[in-house]
């Protein structure tokens, strides 16, 4: 595929793609599909009513991967993409998404991605989504992802949601409805700097008996950036829910955490944990005694924290 150097950088950052991958894939560049492949078990089709894809995973599919990264490398492009994933009964699949924006122009570039997952009985899905921005233009790099999961009995979802750097503004929404014995495990990693703004919203409905949710957000806020985290878990049945917010605050940044636990059944077990603070001085001192500068020590601590 004829990618520019900036587009290659984006695909490396958001999807670990250095060349055309094995398995099913769809690459989107500047609002258009530039490469697609289906397999015997995974079929990718274009939607006819809106911009986006329908991805069908056959029942019983095991150990297959779908890559659907997006790159924007022009200034002033604004798009909304709707992708639906139909995960067949007892399938086990990994989906690697994510979007990067390179903007060296004067106007904002915007990507709004809406991903819906219909996870059938006994199916497992691992979803990896990374966002990244770079470029020296005055135009903003704006990414607004929405992830919705509808999970049937005994299904499982593992979400890795990461904003690497360079995104000026983002509203990140994650919603899930869980049926009997369904489980969701989500880990968000978020970094902001400069005057960036980020809002993360999690809304999890534990409808089914013995459903489980474990939602963890780890964040670094630097310079004058601001982050807002809203975590809501509704326990509507015998269920277990856990949410956790850990944030490191630096410079003149702000972090606001708003947890909500709604126990609507006497057998619901819901827990929330939150910690917001600066890098511990003893950590810096220990690393600096090993020969690191203060900036190098901070970088080591941040990298370890976000793993």
Nearest to 110 by CA among 82, 77, 73, 133: 77
State pLDDT tens for residues 111-149: 999 999 999 999 999 999 999 999 998 999 999 999 999
pLDDT of the residue at 165:
87
Q: Which residue has the tokens 């995104």?
A: 167
Nearest to 121 by CA among 177, 209, 62, 181: 181
Under the banding of pLDDT at 50, 70 and 90, the label for residue 254 is very high
Q: What is the average pLDDT score of the chain?
A: 93
pLDDT of the residue at 17:
85
Q: Greater confidence, 92 or 18?
A: 92
pLDDT of the residue at 307:
73
Token reading at 235: 């326990």
pLDDT of the residue at 283:
65
Q: Report how far residue 7's alpha carbon sits from residue 11's, in angstroms, rounded to the nearest whole number.
A: 6
pLDDT of the residue at 281:
66
- The answer to whether 240 and 262 have CB atoms below 8 angstroms apart is no
Q: Which residue has the tokens 């001085």?
A: 281
Token reading at 79: 């798009």
Q: Report how far residue 277's alpha carbon sits from residue 248's, in angstroms, rounded to the nearest whole number.
A: 5
Nearest to 83 by CA among 63, 57, 62, 54: 54
State pLDDT tens for residues 151-164: 999 999 999 999 98
Under the banding of pLDDT at 50, 70 and 90, the label for residue 286 is low
Q: Report how far residue 87's alpha carbon sits from residue 138's, in angstroms, rounded to the nearest whole number.
A: 41
pLDDT of the residue at 306:
72
State pLDDT tens for residues 80-95: 999 999 999 999 999 9
pLDDT at residue 28 above 90?
yes
pLDDT at residue 299 above 80?
no
Token reading at 41: 């078990």
State pLDDT tens for residues 220-231: 999 999 999 999
Q: Greater confidence, 12 or 304?
A: 12
Under the banding of pLDDT at 50, 70 and 90, the label for residue 298 is confident
Q: What is the DSSP letter of 194?
A: T
pLDDT at residue 51 above 80?
yes
Q: Greater confidence, 307 or 245?
A: 245
**Mean per-residue pLDDT, 176-183:** 98
């Amino acid at each position: 595929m004829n990618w520019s150097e900036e587009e290659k950088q984006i695909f490396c950052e958001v999807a670990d793609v250095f060349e055309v991958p094995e398995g099913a894939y769809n690459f989107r560049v500047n609002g258009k599909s530039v490469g697609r492949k289906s397999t015997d078990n995974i079929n990718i089709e274009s939607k006819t009513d809106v911009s986006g894809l329908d991805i069908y995973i056959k029942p019983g599919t095991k150990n297959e991967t779908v890559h659907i990264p997006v790159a924007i490398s022009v200034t002033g492009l604004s798009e909304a993409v709707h992708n639906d994933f139909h995960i067949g009964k007892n399938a086990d699949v990994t989906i690697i998404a994510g979007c990067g924006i390179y903007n060296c122009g004067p106007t904002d570039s915007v990507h709004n991605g809406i991903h819906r997952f219909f996870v059938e009985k006994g199916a497992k899905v691992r979803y990896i989504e990374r966002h990244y921005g770079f470029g020296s233009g005055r135009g903003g790099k704006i990414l607004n992802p929405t992830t919705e999961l509808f999970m049937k009995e005994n299904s499982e979802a593992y979400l890795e949601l990461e904003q690497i750097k360079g995104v000026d503004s983002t509203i990140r929404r994650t919603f899930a409805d869980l049926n009997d014995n369904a489980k969701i495990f989500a880990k968000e990693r978020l970094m902001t700097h400069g005057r960036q703004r980020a809002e993360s919203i999690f809304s999890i409905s534990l409808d089914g008996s013995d459903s489980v949710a474990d939602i963890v957000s780890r964040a670094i806020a630097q310079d004058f950036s601001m982050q807002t985290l809203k975590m809501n878990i509704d326990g509507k049945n015998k269920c277990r829910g856990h949410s956790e917010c850990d944030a490191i605050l630096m410079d003149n940044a702000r972090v606001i955490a708003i947890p909500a636990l709604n126990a609507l059944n006497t057998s619901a077990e819901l827990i929330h944990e939150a910690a917001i603070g600066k890098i511990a001085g003893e950590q810096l001192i220990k690393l600096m005694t090993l020969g690191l500068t203060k900036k190098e020590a901070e970088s080591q601590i941040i990298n370890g924290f976000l793993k």
